[in-house]
Amino acid sequence: MLLKTVFLPLTAAGFGAAAGLWDLTSASLDGTLVMLAIAGFLLSVAAPRQWGVWVLVIGVGVLLAHVVTPARPGMLFDLTVVSGLVAAAVSLLPAAVGAVAALAVLWVLRPNRPVRVYAAPLAQPIKPTLAQRGAQAAQRAADHMGRLNGGRFNGGGLRGQPTLDVGD
C-alpha cells in the first residue's frame, strides 16, 4: 500500500525532475527523451493500472524542475514558467510511449490462463434449439389433427375405424 501511494509517486516526480534538470543543462534532447521513456516504462511495470498517473506525475516533475531552477540571466520568470509548461507537455509523449511499451511487454509475457469451459451441469436437461422446438410443435399439431381424424400419422388409422383419408 505504501509502495503505490508514497514511493511510486515520489519516484515518478523524481524521474521527471531529473529529466527536467537534464533538459535544462544538456544541449541535446536525446538523453532527456530516453530518460523519460525509461521512467514511464519502469513505473508502468511496477504498477500497470496507474500508467496514466505515472505519465502525468513525470510531467509535473519536469514542470517543477523548470520552475524551481533559477532563471537564466536575462530571462523573465514568466518565460521560465512558459518554457516549463511546454517542456512538461512535450515530456508526456515519451513517458507515455514508454508506459505503453511496458503494457505491451506485460501483455505478451502474461501467464496463460486455463480455458474455462462453460458446460451445463449434467442434472439439467439440454435446452432444445428453436428449430427443434418448432419441429416438436409441428409433430404435436399433426398428432392432434390425426386424432381428430381417427388415427395417428405415425401408425395410420385404427383398423375398423373410418378415416377421411383417400383410399378407404
The pLDDT, as a whole number, for residue 152 is 47
In this structure, are residues 57 and 47 in contact, taking their beta carbons and an 8 Å threshold?
Answer: no
Is-contact 74 29, C-beta < 8 A? Answer: no
Q: Is the model more confident about 63 or about 1? A: 63
Q: Per-residue b/e over 118-140, b at no fewer than 16 CB within 10 Å?
A: eeeeeeeeeeeeeeeeeeeeeee
Q: What's the pTM value of the predicted model, to 2 decimals?
A: 0.60
Residue 168 pLDDT: 44
Residues 30-73 pLDDT 10s: 888 999 999 999 999 998 888 899 999 999 998 888 888 776 66
- Measured between alpha carbons, how far is 80 from 63 in angstroms, rounded to an integer? 10
pLDDT score at 3: 73
- Give residue-wise pLDDT tens across range 75-134: 665 667 777 888 888 889 999 999 999 999 988 888 776 656 665 555 566 777 888 888
Predicted local distance difference test score (pLDDT) of residue 104: 92
- What is the percent of the chain where pLDDT is above 70? 73
What CA dihedral angle connects 4, 8, 13 and 19, to 10 degrees? -150
In this prediction, residue 149 has a pLDDT band, given cuts at 50, 70 and 90, of low
- Beta-bridge mates of residue 157: 151
CA gap 35, 49 in Å, rounded: 21
